[in-house]
């Protein structure tokens, strides 16, 4: 760590160490969502219970594949893993299938996923605003879709 | 923030909304009082993970997108100052921002697609910054760092912040977020050197504002 960074350690790192999730759990970050999974499969891949998928990224497993809105991604049995008598969905293999980058801290059991590239295609093709999900200061979830029907100024700032 | 609130009140159009996202690393404790002091009534979001910037591929603050009723972006990615600002540093006056943005915004709110400030989908898509897989990965790494920071794991936080910056070295958001947690702060020598370097090299610190005064 550089000298400059160490100059204000209390400012830079003011937080007391605390557990990110209960023992045996895992945490998934995706587009503002912070999801704690109480049960995941062992190993370096992120093996989740199939029912946990919608809460992570909105995809639902259907006979025709993993579906989000009107998009369905065909998936093979290779994304499902039998381990310890349970059937798991390999979320990291699904991300690889989608070309979705992710970074994992295996020791901490935390996976952070970037946006799914195909979900940004509309913005690049016909300038349709990307979907996003944030929580406002009143605790309400706000999505781009909620603003449809109105003109919207989406603006970022910082006190930096 | 008071300026956006003033515009919001002046326009007073139920079919116009502002979503204002504060990227402060300090979160609500830092950004909240600023929103409160402005008596903000628009949608206020504290966004230390830069979710909005990531969605629209912004690389600096303040940046904005205008989105019409159908969800189509009609302007994007400009230095979005609601007015010209002057700050005083020693005997120097530093001026930044512009007074032409707000009238253009109001014109669009009043005239919609007939406003001269509405850009074609072709122009907008060419103005959207393309993000490479590495830059997408940088966003994921940045959020992981923030998670570790808020849980007190400083070494892991530094590791993943550095990974984010190395994957996306052109993100002024990452650079300024980092500088704000250093002794010199976000407007010190490093920042001035960075900004001057962008100007010297002809790089877009912000995309040039394409609005005539």
Which of A103, A144, A155 is closest, CB to CB, to B144? Answer: A103
Instruction: Show residues of chain A in contact with B17, CB under 8 Å.
Output: 147, 150-153
- Residue range B150-171: average pLDDT? 94
CATH number for the domain spanning B110: value is 3.40.30
Phi, psi angle pair for A92, to nearest 5°: -70, -35
Domain assignment present for residue B213? The answer is: no
Angle formed at CA B51 by CA B45 and CA B54, multiple of 5 degrees: 140
Rounded to whole angstroms, the Cα distance separating B134 from B32 reads 32
Paired tokens of B91 = 């005997």
Same domain assignment for residues B141 and B113:
no
Tell whether B169 and B101 lie within a shared domain. no
Nearest Cβ partner of B69 from A101, A114, A150?
Answer: A150
| Same domain (yes/no): B14, B78 | yes
Interval B130-146: pLDDT, tens: 889 999 999 999 999 99
Domain hosting B174: range is 133-201
Between residues 38 and 77 of chain A, which touch chain B (CB distance below 8 Å)? none
Separation of alpha carbons A159 and B22, rounded Å: 8
Instruction: Render pLDDT for A111-149 as a digit per residue (tens, 0 to 9).
Output: 999 999 888 888 999 999 999 999 999 999 999 999 999
**What are the φ/ψ torsions at residue A137 (nearest 5 degrees)?**
-70, -15
Could you tell me if B94 and B155 lie in one domain?
Answer: no
Residues of A in contact with B180 (CB under 8 A): 160
| In the predicted structure, residue B94 carries a pLDDT above the cut 70 | no
Residues of chain A contacting residue B186, judged by C-beta atoms under 8 Å apart = 160
pLDDT tens-place string over residues B113-131 = 999 999 999 999 999 988 8
Asked if residue B211 belongs to a domain, the reply is no
Asked if the model's pLDDT at residue A65 lies above 90, the reply is yes
What is residue A3's predicted lDDT score, i.e. its pLDDT? 44
CA-nearest residue to A2 within chain B is: B182
Contact criterion met (CB below 8 Å) for A76 and A85: no
What are residue A118's phi and psi, to 5 degrees? Answer: -65, -25
Cβ B22–A159 below 8 Å, yes or no?
A: yes
**DSSP assignments along chain A, one per residue:** --HHHHT-HHHHS-PPP--SS-TT-EEEEETTEEEEES---SSSS-EE-GGGHHHHHS-EEETTEEEETTEEE---GGGEEEETTEEEEEHHHHHHHHT--EEEETTTTEEEE---GGGGHHHHHH-BPPP-EEEBTTS-EEEGGGGTTSEEEEEEE---
Average pLDDT (B187-212) is 79
Answer with the one of B88, B111, B127 that is the final residue of a domain: B127
Residues B120 and B153 in one domain: no
B72: chain A residues, CB-CB within 8 Å: 126-129
In a domain, B26, yes or no: yes
């Amino acid at each position: 760590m550089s000298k400059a960074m160490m100059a204000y350690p209390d400012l830079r790192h003011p937080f007391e160490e605390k557990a990110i999730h209960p023992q045996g759990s895992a945490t998934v970050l995706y587009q503002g969502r912070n999801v704690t999974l109480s049960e995941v499969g062992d190993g370096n891949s992120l093996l989740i219970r199939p029912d946990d998928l919608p809460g992570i990224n909105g995809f639902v497993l259907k006979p025709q594949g993993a579906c989000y809105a009107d998009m369905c991604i065909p998936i093979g049995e290779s994304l499902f893993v039998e381990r310890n008598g349970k059937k798991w969905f390999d979320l990291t293999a699904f991300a690889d299938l989608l070309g979705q980058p992710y970074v994992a801290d295996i020791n901490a059991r935390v996976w952070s996923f970037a946006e799914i590239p195909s979900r940004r295609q509309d913005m690049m093709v016909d300038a349709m605003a990307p979907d996003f999900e944030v929580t406002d200061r009143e605790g309400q979830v706000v999505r781009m879709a909620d603003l449809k029907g109105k003109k919207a100024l989406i603006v970022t700032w910082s006190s930096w | 923030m008071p300026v956006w609130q003033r515009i919001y009140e002046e326009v007073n159009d139920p079919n116009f909304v502002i979503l204002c996202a504060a990227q402060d690393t300090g979160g609500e404790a830092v950004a909240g009082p600023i929103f409160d002091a402005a008596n903000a009534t628009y949608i206020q979001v504290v966004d230390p993970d830069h979710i909005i910037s990531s969605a629209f591929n912004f690389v600096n603050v303040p940046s904005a997108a205008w989105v019409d009723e159908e969800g189509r972006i009609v302007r994007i990615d400009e230095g979005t100052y609601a007015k010209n600002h002057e700050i005083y540093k020693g005997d120097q006056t530093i001026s930044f921002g512009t007074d032409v943005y707000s009238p253009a915004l109001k014109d669009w709110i009043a005239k919609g697609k007939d406003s001269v400030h509405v850009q074609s989908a072709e122009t907008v898509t060419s103005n959207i910054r393309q993000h490479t897989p590495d830059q997408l990965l940088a966003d994921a790494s940045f959020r992981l760092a923030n998670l570790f920071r808020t849980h007190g794991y400083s070494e892991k936080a530094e590791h993943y912040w550095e990974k984010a910056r190395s994957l996306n070295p052109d993100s002024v958001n990452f650079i300024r977020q980092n500088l704000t947690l250093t002794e010199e702060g976000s407007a010190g020598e490093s920042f001035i050197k960075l900004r001057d370097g962008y100007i010297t090299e002809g790089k877009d610190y912000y995309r040039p504002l394409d609005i005539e005064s």
